[in-house]
Structure 1
């Protein structure tokens, strides 16, 4: 009987401790979205599914143009694209921090709320020879990815979500 009474008392204490915690109305850092104050978007990219993507055809020359923009209502402008990570679709933020993997030799200056990043499949193949870009029979395309570190006019930096390039035959 003493054992049951002790277990009930312990259960009551645990239940009381569970409801007596301070509820600040905010989720912890582990479960909240990590969104930048100034969102970066890709103009003209297809955005359903996972990461936004552009389609590039090898038959049409393989020119890649990624248009990066921020909202005009943000009150900020884009100073430059500071760093670019490029590779297979498994690139991540850590790739931006590695000096030897920076895809660009010098920052790309922005103007206003937009900046364009241009390259070609041929340049990509030269800089990232280990990443396959030749489309396969099924599903008839291959994907590569880019990630950008964008510096705004006030010196703040935003890491944009990855953008994929769907390479078509």
Structure 2
């Protein structure tokens, strides 16, 4: 008899616990992907998994070839890019928090419809981020520089992009 009462009591406790749990919606922010409603992509960049990148030779960059990233949003999003508000730049350890410090650019960069273009040079990068190594290692190695952008859309929505990189090869 005592064994039956213990089992009924255990069953009652389990039922109370099961029905007293709140909806999982309360935890959804912790377990969901943090994707903006309007995604920003980087046409012309490539990736083999994680961050998109463009590939440049050190000789071309030293000769003044620009580093250019085009940022784009889908044309059917109903939105346009007003500006690239801030640019974070540095080594590959930069993240969204980098945008809280001084921007790499002095002023916002205007958008043009669903695209905006950011352009810099290796010399400008060396001047603005002198502690970041920019020389490459011996072949087949490479060095990477990283950028992250705060984009403002026409409805004042702000989107932090994923990190993009410049892969500098010998």
- TM-score, L = length of structure 1: 0.87
Go from structure 1 to structure 2 and tell me whether the alpha carbon gap of 1:132 and 1:7 turns closer, same or farther (over 3 Å shift): farther
Q: CA RMSD in A?
A: 2.5
Question: Match of 2:39?
Answer: 39
Equivalent of residue 89 in structure 2, options 65, 86, 90: 86
Residues in 1 aligned to 2:131 and 2:6: alpha-carbon distance in whole angstroms: 65
After TM superposition, where is structure 1 displaced by more than 3 Å over at least 4 residues in a row?
5-12, 22-27
Question: Match of 2:150?
Answer: 149
Residues in 1 aligned to 2:140 and 2:19: alpha-carbon distance in whole angstroms: 52
User: Structure 2 stretches of 5 or more lacking a match?
Assistant: none
Q: Deviations over 1:113-163 (max 9, x none)?
A: 011100011111111111111111254210110000001111111111110
Question: Match of 1:114?
Answer: 115
Residues in 2 aligned to 1:138 and 1:27: alpha-carbon distance in whole angstroms: 48
Equivalenced residue count is 167
Residues in 1 aligned to 2:132 and 2:81: alpha-carbon distance in whole angstroms: 30
User: Structure 1 stretches of 5 or more lacking a match?
Assistant: none
Report the secondary structure of 1:41's partner residue. coil
State whether residues 139 and 169 of structure 2, in contact with CA within 8 Å, keep that contact through their aligned partners in structure 1. Answer: no
Residues in 2 aligned to 1:8 and 1:106: alpha-carbon distance in whole angstroms: 70
Tell me how far 1:2 sits from its aligned partner: 7.0
Residues in 1 aligned to 2:155 and 2:67: alpha-carbon distance in whole angstroms: 29
Report the secondary structure of 1:59's partner residue. helix
Q: How does 1:17-166 map to 2 (within 5 A)?
A: 17-18=17-18, 21-23=21-23, 28-61=28-61, 62-98=65-101, 100=102, 102-137=103-138, 139-166=140-167
Go from structure 1 to structure 2 and tell me whether the alpha carbon gap of 1:15 and 1:53 turns closer, same or farther (over 3 Å shift): farther
Greater helix fraction, Structure 1 or Structure 2: 2
